[in-house]
Amino acid sequence: MRRSWKAIAAVALTGALAISGCGGGDDGGGDSSQVEVFSWWTGPGEADGLKAMQEQFEKQNPGTKFVNAAIAGGSGTQAQAVLASRLQNRKPPDSFQGHAGAELLDYIKAGQIEPLDSFYEENNLKAAYPQQLLEQITYQGKIYSVPVNIHRSNVLWYNPGILKDAGLSGPPTSIADFITALKAVKDKTGKVPLSLGAQWTADHLLENVLLGDLGTDAYNALWKPGADWSTPAVTKALTDFAEIMKYTTAEAASTDWQGASKAVVDGKAAFNIMGDWAYGYFVNPAPNGLGKKLDTDFKYAPSPGTDGTYMWLSDSFTLPKNAPHRGGALAWLKVASSKEGQDLFNPKKGSIPARKDADKSLYKDYLEYAFNEWNKPGVKLAGSFWHGVYANKKWHTDIDTAVGLFLQNKDVAKLQQALVGAAKNNAQ
């Protein structure tokens, strides 16, 4: 399976575009009086992980001021717009968060970030990362970012008490079962069957329903050039998506993923489909986390129909061209790429390390499951489109626009038509 996934990765990362004006290089040096690190990790849960890495950075670099330039908004909805305008105006931060895969490729092709090959050599990093991940951050033979983690997108979080009240013996394992379970929760408990937040959480749900209904190979094929989104199988998945949406709370821009996920552990909603950053939020101690207990307050399962497949994404940090504090940026990348940095960051973030040599004993409960699944021989991999692996920024926006219209008109045929068009315009 890894081979077929790699083929997809190669499609995502090959292309004829030359990188113009790609000078620079990572020859070290530069102003290290401070470092401005740009991300979207402001909220409860994810900010804890960043803080842990910041503290490690400050310990190792007492003379460098750490400036946390995080901008709120789950999955980077606001941050990415601000970042785009800063890069456009040539006012980059010293390092910014970008997803491995198609999203990173956009920055590379636009000539906005520098290759990090000598940094990788100096820090012996090539051997530290899995080959398939290196392929997602390499373009035309050069490596462009430092991955800190692997997140899993396809997780179903659920409230065991509500499932029991609904007469369900366990979590649903297919999309059809899921719809039956949502109906049972609605009819028997009066609780919210599936919690949802801002619009992007519907995009996140969509990738999970596509994967669950189509299966891994057909989902992966959707992101290849010439892919056909007009098939009856896609119609069926979108029809199921529409049906599932009937059991959600109304889309509320004011509630981000934290509000939607929290509804499950608070006993207000039965299910939430969210990436495993929700786990960090659930279990980290208060006041930042919710201090909840796995198995008592919540449980997890692969999102329906996706057992055996890891729908993955990876946060990585970059060295922008003309970073004002290049020395500070390289010192930050050193912490972000280190075993110590990743082992401090990931248990709090709710992710597993991108490096292969992490201390496994630090990853407990859900994270132990994630760790084992990711490293299982023969695990099937699928890239998250919403979190930057398969869709570049334009495609991502086009899908979001289509989903936004669907939330208004509930018209499956129009949604499919828009997704067919988005694939035609953007698959490369």
Q: Give me the residues that bind ligand GAL (CB under 6 A), please.
A: 40-41, 46, 74-76, 99, 151, 257, 275, 277, 313, 315, 387
Which residue intervals of 91-159 are DSSP H helices? Answer: 102-109, 117-122, 131-136
Chain mean position to CA 386: 7
- Who's near 145: CB < 8 A, 6+ residues apart? 98, 100, 104, 113, 116, 137, 316, 317, 318
Q: Give the Cα separation of 413 and 209 in Å (integer).
A: 17
Q: Which helix (H) or strand (E) holds 212?
A: helix 199-214
- Least separation in angstroms between residue 411's CB and ligand GAL is 28
Q: Give the Cα separation of 316 and 387 in Å (integer).
A: 12
Q: Which is nearer to ligand GAL, 181 or 274 (CB)?
A: 274
Q: Which is nearer to ligand GAL, 42 or 235 (CB)?
A: 42
- Least separation in angstroms between residue 428's CB and ligand GAL is 22
Q: Which is nearer to ligand GAL, 7 or 72 (CB)?
A: 72
Q: Which is nearer to ligand GAL, 173 or 258 (CB)?
A: 258
Q: What share of the chain is helix, strand, coil (3-state, %, to 5)?
A: 45, 15, 40
- Who's near 140: CB < 8 A, 6+ residues apart? 19
- Least separation in angstroms between residue 311's CB and ligand GAL is 12
Q: Which is nearer to ligand GAL, 191 or 355 (CB)?
A: 355
Q: Which is nearer to ligand GAL, 101 or 275 (CB)?
A: 275
- Least separation in angstroms between residue 41's CB and ligand GAL is 6
- Least separation in angstroms between residue 150's CB and ligand GAL is 10
**DSSP string covering 402-419, please?**
HHHHHHHH--HHHHHHHH
- Least separation in angstroms between residue 303's CB and ligand GAL is 16
